[in-house]
Copies of this chain bind each other. A is one copy, B any other.
Amino acid sequence: MTEAVTTPATRRYSGRDAGERSAARRERLLEAALDLFGTEGYQVTPIDRLCSAAKVSTRHFYQEFTNKEAVLIALHSQITEDALTATATALAEAPAAPIEARLVAAVTAYLRTIISDPRRVRVSFVEVVGASPAVEQTRLEYREAIIATVTHEGEAAIARGEIPPRDFRFAALALIGALNSVVYDWSLHQRKSADELEVALVALATTLLTG
């Protein structure tokens, strides 16, 4: 049998292999999307704008994403998973703490991740809402993930006898909604410092979940 030793069909370019170049384009597109969706808005940004801002040709755009909607979903996922990871880490660092302390850690971590960039605020609190059926679906899925985390934490605290039982789905939804609108308003008007915002929201979370 003669071995068909196939030379890799791909070639290195500017020192990077195909996968790296593709990943770099994808990243530039996501950065451009954060910027344009987060300042001008998803609906009013055509793919062309996205491509020129990212310095990616439309040919390559379609190599990375199916369409504009897919970019928004990827961006939203990235932002949200970032925040959820930060939250999980913060919780893991206070493993045996009482619910109040865990709550402060979690909310602070979540908040800081999001408000570190006003464009993130706008994308995850405004642009993804009702953008399209598919986007709306992932938004609701992430929402369920947050509700699950809150509920899990809450039930554990109840089991430890730290707080009385309550409807955590309701509390989580109230907290999520309150956070969204307060943070978005803050990012628009900056009426208080980030620290003051944090204090106010941590207090709110405490009231809603353990108060």
State in angstroms the CA–CA spacing of A8 and B104 once bound together.
71
In the complex formed, the residue of B with least CB distance to A37 is B130
In the bound complex, do residue A130 and residue B174 qualify as a contact, i.e. CB atoms below 8 Å apart? no
In the assembled complex, A162 has its CB within 8 A of some CB on chain B = no
State in angstroms the CA–CA spacing of A169 and B167 once bound together.
26
State in angstroms the CA–CA spacing of A130 and B188 once bound together.
14
Q: CB-CB < 8 A to A98: which residues of B?
A: none
In the bound complex, do residue B131 and residue A204 qualify as a contact, i.e. CB atoms below 8 Å apart? no
State in angstroms the CA–CA spacing of A204 and B174 once bound together.
9
State in angstroms the CA–CA spacing of A179 and B42 once bound together.
25
| Mask of A138-179 contacts with B, CB within 8 angstroms, 1/0 | 001001000000000000000000000001011001111111
A186-206 residues with Cβ-Cβ distance < 8 A to B are 188, 191, 200, 204
In the complex formed, the residue of B with least CB distance to A169 is B191
In the bound complex, do residue A182 and residue B207 qualify as a contact, i.e. CB atoms below 8 Å apart? no
Q: CB-CB < 8 A to A127: which residues of B?
A: 130
In the bound complex, do residue B191 and residue A182 qualify as a contact, i.e. CB atoms below 8 Å apart? no
**Given A126-B136, A207-B211: A174 in contact with B182 (beta carbons within 8 A):** yes
In the bound complex, do residue A173 and residue B167 qualify as a contact, i.e. CB atoms below 8 Å apart? no
**Given A173-B178, A176-B181, A182-B174: A130 in contact with B126 (beta carbons within 8 A):** yes
Could you write out 7 A-B pairs with CB less than 8 Å apart? A42-B130, A130-B130, A170-B182, A174-B181, A174-B204, A177-B177, A177-B180
Beyond known contacts A42-B130, A174-B178, A174-B182: 12 more, CB 8 A cutoff: A41-B136, A44-B132, A129-B130, A143-B181, A167-B200, A173-B178, A174-B204, A175-B178, A177-B180, A177-B181, A177-B182, A207-B211
Q: Rank and list the top 8 A-B pairs by shortest CB-CB distance, nearest first.
A: A177-B181, A174-B178, A177-B177, A129-B129, A126-B130, A177-B178, A178-B178, A173-B182
Q: Which residues of A contact B (CB under 8 A)?
A: 41-44, 126-127, 129-133, 136, 140, 143, 167, 169-170, 173-182, 185, 188, 191, 200, 204, 207, 211
